[in-house]
Amino acid sequence: MLLALKIAAAFIVAVIACMGAILLYAFALPSASVDVPVPLAGVAVRFEAWSGVADETFWLVVQTPRGATKRRLWSNWGPATRVNFYRTPDEWLVVLGGGGDSEMVDVNDPKAGEDVFKPRVSSSDSATWTYLGAVDRPRREPKARRFFSPAELRECFAMFGAGYSPYRVSHQAESRCD
């Protein structure tokens, strides 16, 4: 009887350890990590999607010769899976998502807080920004994510009923971008 209890206890411990390892793996690594090519010397940009219990959160990781930053973008709220990348004339990186979500990074001072740089960029003319491409899900691989160059995926970001964004107005779509 004692041997059976020891075996049962060892089995339960093994099951709990396996479940813990699975959970650790699921939440310790991003569900997607995509390098974004940018034409800025010494700048590396990566988009990450992290799975949570109830949703998926998007992150932007920027490394420059002057420092690095990791910024929480927004949660994946359904159909808004596309993330567009832009370069401004004064070398800022701008990220636009569905519903008008936005994030901006000064690559000359990547650690600057949002309240420091966003008003400066938001007052700039977004028509002067260069579209670098987008991260989205390929049609044939709906669980995967990859970077699409401007030649592969035209510029568009869907508002999904959120009104409009002050950025890139001519490239906004009320619903899904096709």
* DSSP string for 14-57: HHHHHHHHHHHHHHHS-SEEEEE--SSTT-EEEEEEEE-SS-EE
Q: Give the pLDDT of residue 10.
A: 65
Q: What phi and psi, each to the nearest 5 degrees, are found at residue 9?
A: -65, -40
Residue 116 has pLDDT above 50, yes or no: no
The string of pLDDT tens digits covering residues 13-67 is 666 765 555 554 445 677 888 999 999 889 999 999 888 766 778 889 999 888 8
Average pLDDT over every residue of 130-156 = 87
Residue with tokens 């002057």: 66
pTM of the predicted model as reported, rounded to 2 decimal places? 0.75
Extract the tokens encoding 157. Answer: 């970001």
Cα–Cα dist 115/151, whole Å: 34
Cα–Cα dist 69/110, whole Å: 6
Average pLDDT over every residue of 92-119 = 72
Q: How confident is the model at residue 104 (pLDDT cuts 50, 70, 90)?
A: confident
Cα–Cα dist 74/56, whole Å: 9
Q: Where are the domains of the chain?
A: 1-29, 31-173
DSSP code per residue over 77-111? -SS---EEEEE-TTSEEEEEEGGG-EEEEETTSTT
